[in-house]
Amino acid sequence: MKILIAAEAGFCFGVKRAMKMTERVVAQGCGEGEKVYSFGPLIHNPQVINRLKEKGVEVADRVEDIENGTVIVRTHGLAPQRMEELRQRVDHVIDATCPYVTKSQSYASQLHKEGYHVLIIGDQNHPEIKGVIGFVNENYTVINTVEGAGKLSFYPKLGVIAQTTFNVGKFNAILSTLSEKANEIRIFNTICDDTFVRQRSAAELAGQADIMIIVGGRNSANTNKLVEICRSIQPRTYHIEEVQEIENIDFQDVQSVGITTGASTPDWIIADVVERLKNLPIHSAVT
């Protein structure tokens, strides 16, 4: 059995940056009675979060849970009001918001200031979108389907942005339905470059492999998008979070297995997955 690894796998640029910032804070250590917190899990990968916990990084979900110390704002960013609350609460706030998310926030703010109704294409429960909403007050709508676009009211000025990890094909499909929804439409494609190339290389691999394994947190939006894309091409697509889940996959008649990962999956987990596959009763070669 051949093992094919997608050209784009492992941590994305934003996650690598956030991890480096966090490691720097951990290495510097804290003062007496101080702690290091991430505001929400730093990334959507439980194994990495556990390792960070072992190094003393606590996850705080509410501002009230934070005592004195340093708070790291994760890649998804925060609404400005929430960022201000954190700054009032502690002396040290490390902003690890991914620069792609910062750009998206500033486009949302600009559109809002220029009088556009802001249409956000993404998942309204995702932390990134909750943060972006903080930049546009009440003047916004969040949708994530073509059907949702069909139900939109008519606006004189409509400004469109996307969740940075949104499915590129779906984004384009939604855009193609918007022309009747406003007199003027301004679009910022805020899907990040990493998402674009990762989705493309996953789709290419899904077209070649007999089975696709997507490795990443079940709560990771970008991982779930990869599963959706690969499954539409290769129905034998499996989403795993832990390496031992490979045991539940049926490899009958499989000559080649493709592997890709969400943006929060570190290289050491990919190596574990490859190792486990190589040790299956079927002989495997990695390419």
* Site residues (vs ligand F3S, CB under 6 A): 12-15, 75, 98, 100-101, 164-165, 192, 194-195, 222, 263
For residue 191, the minimal CB distance to ligand F3S (Å) is: 8
For residue 147, the minimal CB distance to ligand F3S (Å) is: 26
For residue 26, the minimal CB distance to ligand F3S (Å) is: 20
CA distance 166 to 149: 15
Strand partners, 214: 239, 260
Nearest alpha-carbon partner for 91 in 66, 116, 57, 62: 66
The smaller minimum CB distance to ligand F3S, of residues 105 and 195, is found at 195
The smaller minimum CB distance to ligand F3S, of residues 15 and 243, is found at 15
CA distance 229 to 84: 38
For residue 14, the minimal CB distance to ligand F3S (Å) is: 2
For residue 115, the minimal CB distance to ligand F3S (Å) is: 27
The smaller minimum CB distance to ligand F3S, of residues 43 and 118, is found at 43
Catalytic residue numbers read: 128
Q: Are 142 and 120 contacting, i.e. CB atoms less than 8 angstroms apart?
A: yes
Which residue type sits at 175? Answer: L
The smaller minimum CB distance to ligand F3S, of residues 73 and 158, is found at 73
What tokens does 154 get? 């008519």
Query: Any residues with CB less than 8 A from the CB of 177 and at least 6 apart, and which?
Result: 146, 149, 150
Q: Are 98 and 193 contacting, i.e. CB atoms less than 8 angstroms apart?
A: no
Neighbouring C-beta atoms of residue 282, cutoff 10 Å: 13
Exposed e or buried b per residue across 227-245, where buried means at least 16 C-beta atoms within 10 angstroms of its C-beta = bbbbbebbebbbbbbebee
Nearest alpha-carbon partner for 70 in 30, 23, 27: 30
For residue 171, the minimal CB distance to ligand F3S (Å) is: 14
Q: Are 168 and 192 contacting, i.e. CB atoms less than 8 angstroms apart?
A: no
Nearest position to ligand F3S, beta carbon:
14
Phi/psi of residue 36, each to 5°? Answer: -105, 130
Instruction: Evaluate the CA torsion angle 210, 215, 219, 221 in order and state its sign.
Output: negative
The smaller minimum CB distance to ligand F3S, of residues 46 and 56, is found at 46
Q: How far is CA 52 from the centre of its chain?
A: 19
The smaller minimum CB distance to ligand F3S, of residues 15 and 213, is found at 15
